Amino acid sequence: MLTGTHSEAASYEFTTLTCIPGIVHYNDTKIQLLDLPGIIEGASEGKGRGRQVIAVAKSSDIVLMVLDASKSEGHRQILTKELEAVGLRLNKKPPQIYFKKKKTGGISFNSTMPLTHVDEKLCYQILHEYKIHNAEVLFREDATVDDLIDVIEGNRKYMKCIYVYNKIDVIGIDDVDRLARQPNSVVISCNLKLNFDRLLSKIWEEMGLVRIYTKPQGQQPDFTDPVVLSTDRGGCSVEDFCNHIHRSLVKDVKYVLAWGTSARHYPQHCGLGHVLQDEDVVQIVKKKVRKKFLHSLPSSTSFCLLALLNCHLIPCPWTGPNLS
């Protein structure tokens, strides 16, 4: 319904059997949605082609976990468990633990704050289980044992997730209110087409998308085709904006003129480190390159060329023998 692409829908489970892509047009931006088959218990072990489905989810920017509002709690726990089993951490940030293997020196354990879940002895035991005998470990937060294991493994991916509760038209208003107040949650009804605008707004907000409009010199801004940046992927600085257009553009930038909420005055002269905000207008001013042909030639070539020019400008009479 959001993309206009046909995807089989019915009142029974596992209607979608393959990945179906679609494009959502929102805020002058194209957002690709992938409708994936449902995940069953044991998907992390390969049941129901679960590993293939999860591999596609790992490559995305955000996960939309679509749940039946009448069976939400049980399904949510199963899906979260299967995703965590393959290294996906939903709505979590990487733990503030510095870990580095060394060749010698033993294990160095330090912390910048009191720890309530892990002590030095337990850390040594965990590292020995991984056959690590020389390493440096520094805790910058009160992390758990699971956080330490995630850092040691080094293959975890931390992703944002929106829990989308569908079929709210078959439950009571109190249950709808309870689900809607949960963090990272949106309630919808595909049957009645309810609350789709809130879902798109939540996707835009969680992905951290920023639209930047370009303005050619001496012309009006182009508000039809923005350059879309993301705070989670790359960043939203002027340098990121230039790299998004072309990698070689950064070295030619003299300064940038910016209009919008990120500018203190209109226009503001900005450098490469200036952070842009949504719907800013940017004009790039390049460095002027003056090509001096004579100075680029070797000295002998320049001398010969100047001599020929002088001969044409100031012709001298020929006093030698007649060559004709």
73-87 pLDDT, tens digit each = 888 888 898 889 888
Residue 195 has a CB neighbour count (10 Å cut-off) of: 19
What pLDDT sits at residue 312? 42
Q: Is it the case that residue 11 has pLDDT exceeding 70?
A: no
pLDDT digits (tens, 9 = 90+) for 24-54: 999 989 999 988 887 777 777 777 677 888 8
Q: Which two tokens stand for residue 200?
A: 């798109």
Q: Is it the case that residue 153 has pLDDT exceeding 80?
A: yes
Least confident range from 18-22, 144-148, 270-274, 311-315: namely 311-315
Q: Quote the number of domains for the chain.
A: 3
For residue 151, the SS3 value is helix
Do both 63 and 177 map to the same domain?
Answer: yes
End-to-end CA gap in the chain = 91
Higher pLDDT: 41 or 170? It is 170
CB 123 within 8 A of CB 108: no
Tell whether 292 is covered by a domain.
Answer: no
Higher pLDDT: 54 or 106? It is 106
Query: For residue 315, is the peptide bond before it cis, meaning its omega torsion is within 30 degrees of 0?
Result: no
Tell whether 53 is covered by a domain.
Answer: yes
Domain carrying residue 237: 209-286
Q: Is it the case that residue 316 has pLDDT exceeding 50?
A: no
What pLDDT sits at residue 6? 60
Q: Is it the case that residue 274 has pLDDT exceeding 70?
A: yes
Percent of the chain with pLDDT over 90: 60
Give the mean pLDDT of the chain.
Answer: 84
Do both 190 and 59 map to the same domain?
Answer: yes
Tell whether 293 is covered by a domain.
Answer: no
Do both 75 and 168 map to the same domain?
Answer: yes
